[in-house]
Amino acid sequence: MYPLRRNRRLRTNESMRSLVRETIISPNDFIVPLFVVEGKGVKEEIASMPNYYRLSLDILQKEVKELWKLGLKSVLLFVKVDDKLKDNSGKEALNADGLMQRAIKTVKNAVPEMIVMTDVALDPFSIYGHDGIISEGKVLNDDTNAVLAEMSLSHAMAGADIVAPSDMMDGRIFEIRTLLEDEGFCDTGIMAYSAKYASAFYGPFRDALDSAPVDAKDIPKDKKTYQMDYGNREEAIREALMDIDEGADIVMVKPGLCYLDIVRDIKEVVNVPVAVYQVSGEYAMLKAAAEKGWLDHDAVLLEQVTAIKRAGASMIASYFAKDVAKLIN
């Protein structure tokens, strides 16, 4: 007790604080989300995500080489699909020569050691902007799962190390795992978006991919029939445990900062790595506040990612990954 015990002794200077620090951030903690578009020489800034870009394949090749030099060893790929290729069945998602499949090969050819994760969901390919097939005003669960499994197989055949189903359909992890095993891709990992909440923080991401739900008759106006209600906590644990039982190697909580209680809850009950997605709205808010001079960008950024890891994240998907790596290095 005081004065025999003085906690401030271990806070006297930065060397001392570093010595006893419990949570250490490194580039190894990060997954870098990347947006890919058709074309050549394209580096197109996303208006609602300052200093973040859509990249054509030739620029993607240069980007992943730079990321590797910074110590960032994992990327998560998303594709912006031309409107003329969109439908209600996800046909283009299964194209062996589709943009995603070529992006996977581009990354692997540029940096063979880079871990390539791929988004598995139908919204970038859907004329309706939903993660599944639409029929009679509803998102079909089982029909969608069949397409997601084939999509995952296509990504694995192209060279993906980990497929990342972000759709929130019931049972899709089992369908994907079963097909991968049947086709001999037993080493392909699955990172399940297990606790993906119906959040208002996704707006800039949907701008990046032009994948927001369309405003049309008989089309669900949002994704609340499959993404989780943000008022629920115990449901997140059930979702994570079910995904693990179905074959998930990693489970994810999305978004990040507003859901750190969920991260801790899940971390305490699972025996697999827990990923957290620090989403586009979180990125945009800090960028906007820093631009106004209201927050110290770098100081707040490091505090945020440290908080996410401290809560229990084994890895963090973040648009700030490159910024953090530069700050650390």
* 239 annotated ligand binder: yes
Residue 297 identity: H
Fold that domain 26-328 belongs to in CATH: TIM Barrel (3.20.20)
**Is-contact 189 118, C-beta < 8 A?**
no
Q: Is 40 a catalytic residue?
A: no
Beta bridge partners of 277: 317
> What sign for the dihedral angle of Cα 81, 84, 87, 92?
negative
Q: What is the pLDDT of residue 3?
A: 82
Q: What is the pTM of this model?
A: 0.95
* Res 277: pLDDT: 97
| Tokens at 136, concatenated | 């009679």
- Among the listed residues 196, 267, 287, 322, the single catalytic one is 196
Q: Which of 80, 97, 75 is nearest to 35 (CA)?
A: 80
DSSP codes, 163-180: EEE-S--TTHHHHHHHHH
User: What is residue 242's three-state secondary structure?
Assistant: helix
Averaged over 260-266, what is the pLDDT? 98
Query: Which one of 86, 254, 267, 322 is the catalytic residue?
Result: 254
Is residue 287 part of the annotated active site? The answer reads: no
User: Mean pLDDT over residues 132-140, rounded?
Assistant: 92
Domain extent listing, the chain: 26-328
Q: What average pLDDT score do residues 11-16 get?
A: 94
| Residue 116, pLDDT above cutoff 80 | yes
Least-confidence region, from 27-41, 81-95, 188-202, 203-217: 203-217
Task: Give 296-312 pLDDT, tens digit per residue.
Answer: 999 999 999 999 999 99
Q: Give the residue among 148, 250, 146, 120 at the shortest CA–CA distance from 195.
A: 250
Q: If you average pLDDT over residues 136-164, what whole number do you get?
A: 96
Query: pLDDT for 177-187, tens place per residue?
Result: 999 999 999 99
Residues 110-119: b if buried by 16+ CB within 10 A, e if exposed: bbeebbbbbb
pLDDT value of position 209: 72
